[in-house]
Structure 1
Amino acid sequence: MTIPAQQMNISGNNQSEVQIRTATRHDVPLITMMTWEILVVTNRADRYRFEESLAGVQRIFSGNSQDLYILATVGSRVIGQLKLARQYNDLLMGDEAWIEHVFIHSEFRGRKIYDQLHAHAVALCQQWGAKRLSLHVVDTNERARRAYEKQGMLATGFWMTQSLEN
């Protein structure tokens, strides 16, 4: 089942400037709905329970997680997201970050919204001193692969990665 745009608070054609911000606990229901939409579109919703997804997103805002969500907004409407997960990688002997749960509402795709989310994520990773930024992408999702490659991500077989070291 697809979540209607009006339910996600992203309907309308306001062409106001896109703003990028870090999500807060008040965004949890909306983040969960967007993440659930990803599962629906990729035919994976049957593997999860919505209530558990909601609890999982809430946990990120509990104060015990290094993960965060970055949101793209137009006015008061959230039009896109990505999750940035941070972890220590013993092989790199330092932190690396993973981009997960990328979602751009269909009405706003092709408008470089992901480019802005990615730039914000890279800036945060550099502040953290992360040595690498990675993500998984479905092989058949050519549009997403091109967007990631445009940002400097390189296909490495199983995932795409971008070095953040100078």
Structure 2
Amino acid sequence: MSDLEIRPATAHDIPAIVAMLADDALGAQRESPDDLAPYLTAFAHLAQDPNQHLVVAVRDGRIVGTLQLTVIAGLSLRGTTRGLIEGVRIHADERGRGLGTQLIEWAIDEARKQDCQLVQLTSNASRADARRFYERLGFTASHVGFKLAL
């Protein structure tokens, strides 16, 4: 997969990113690819924050994957800085070819460069394949997550 480029996302990449976010049963319920305005607003905020790293994986000029890495400073665990990985998506026709592993490895390497001592992520409980994928990469399901919609 030497023909793969992982680079920072641009505003022009938002339609392809949102399409991947919406391309499964969960995403189809919560994403709106026909209305890009909220995504572009969010991207403008992300682009101004040096602790946000939204990237795309590009092969042959086509966006085939994405993820967001957020660097979070904290006091717990002796002042541990964490890398939070979110929004990991691989284009449907690229799945199973190692691209997800490459993206996660990029995020872990970048977290180290940002002086993170811990990388964490969540995955919806219904995503059994994703859970197996993350466990295979060395992640452990050590916590129970909670969310409250506002």
* TM-score category (smaller protein): 0.7 to 0.9
Q: TM-score, normalised by structure 1?
A: 0.73
Distance 1:142 1:40, change over 3 A: closer
Distance 1:31 1:41, change over 3 A: closer
What per-residue deviation string (whole Å, max 9, x for no partner) do you get for residues 78-131 of structure 1?
A: 101011111112213031011111111111111111100011111111111101
- Equivalent-residue separation in structure 1 for 2:75 and 2:2 (angstroms): 43
Q: 1:136 aligns with which of 108, 122, 131?
A: 122
Identity in percent: 26
- Equivalent-residue separation in structure 1 for 2:100 and 2:125 (angstroms): 18
Which runs of 5 or more residues in structure 2 are unaligned? Answer: 146-150
Please name the residue that 2:59 is paired with.
Answer: 74
- Give the secondary structure class of the aligned counterpart of 1:21: strand
C-alpha contact 1:88 1:94 (8 A) present in aligned 2: yes
Which runs of 5 or more residues in structure 1 are unaligned? Answer: 1-14, 160-166
- Equivalent-residue separation in structure 2 for 1:112 and 1:100 (angstroms): 18
Distance 1:110 1:102, change over 3 A: same
The alpha carbon displacement at 1:26 in A equals 3.8
Structure with bigger helix share is: 2
Q: 1:27 aligns with which of 13, 30, 43?
A: 13
Letter in 2 for 1:138: N
Would you identify which runs of 4 or more consecutive aligned residues in structure 1 move more than 6 Å?
Answer: none
C-alpha contact 1:32 1:57 (8 A) present in aligned 2: no
C-alpha contact 2:82 2:118 (8 A) present in aligned 1: yes
The alpha carbon displacement at 1:52 in A equals 1.6
In angstroms, what is the RMSD of aligned CA positions? 2.4
Please name the residue that 1:9 is paired with.
Answer: none
Please name the residue that 2:72 is paired with.
Answer: 87
Letter in 2 for 1:112: G
What per-residue deviation string (whole Å, max 9, x for no partner) do you get for residues 34-69 of structure 1?
A: 3344686362238xx7422221022211x3341011
Letter in 2 for 1:100: E
- Number of residue pairs the alignment of both structures matches: 142
Letter in 2 for 1:56: A
